[in-house]
Amino acid sequence: MGHPVKISEAEDYVFGVVLLNDWSARDVQTWEYVPLGPFNAKNFATTISPWIVTLEALEPFAVSLPAQDPKPLPYLKEDNLKSWDIPITVEIKSKNAKEFHKLSTTNYKYMYWTINQQIAHHTVTGCQLNVGDILGSGTISGTEPEAYGSLFELTTNGKKKIKVGEQEMTWIEDNDIVNMHAEIKGNGYMIGFGDCSGEILPANPLEDYC
């Protein structure tokens, strides 16, 4: 605590990466984020994939990122902006469906901020890092609708329904299962993260807690 991590040293603090779903309750978030920002909408559940993929394993899939505009502050400036080409598929199985249906296909290379920048920014005020900490990158979305990373974006904040298999939906519902997976194809081999999967279980009525 109290020692910021320099951008040139940030990668030394990363063991590897996983897929992560922070299970945002967007209806609650919409109520919370004006004027305070999301709080209870994002603090109740997190799912991660079973395999940690090291940065060394990802190195063959590194990609250069375009220059950032506007230029970041000096403590976030990187001479070599890079990310990794990690295609990610998001799919859902509703309680009435027999199989999963794809929601979107996105890619980690679409992220604006790098891992190094996120760590440098997290620690710039002296906030500590502990062994085993998990830092989320934020929603991974491309510029086209088929690459949007959340139902919030796919449904234009719940204003329209999307077709998933034979059904139309706006938000996930009780007993729906959401799954994310990513496989990177190398030269004669493949790297997988495993399934990042979770089911929405019915909650007790709110009045039980009041």
pLDDT tens for 109-147 read: 999 999 999 999 999 999 999 999 999 999 999 989 899
Residue 184 pairs with which residues in a beta bridge?
191
% of the chain with per-residue pLDDT over 90: 72
Domains of the chain with bracketed CATH? 10-58+84-200 (3.90.850.10)
CA dihedral 138, 65, 78, 126 (to 10 degrees): 0
Residue 93 has a CB neighbour count (10 Å cut-off) of 19
- The mean pLDDT value for 81-85 works out to 96
Could you read off the pLDDT of 26-79 as tens digits, one per residue? 778 888 888 787 788 888 899 999 999 999 999 999 999 999 999 999 999 998
User: Per the structure block, which two tokens stand in for 167?
Assistant: 């059904």
What does the pLDDT read at residue 209?
57
- The mean pLDDT value for 8-21 works out to 96
Confidence class for position 176, pLDDT limits 50, 70, 90: very high
Q: Name the one residue in this structure whose structure tokens are 């250069």.
A: 64
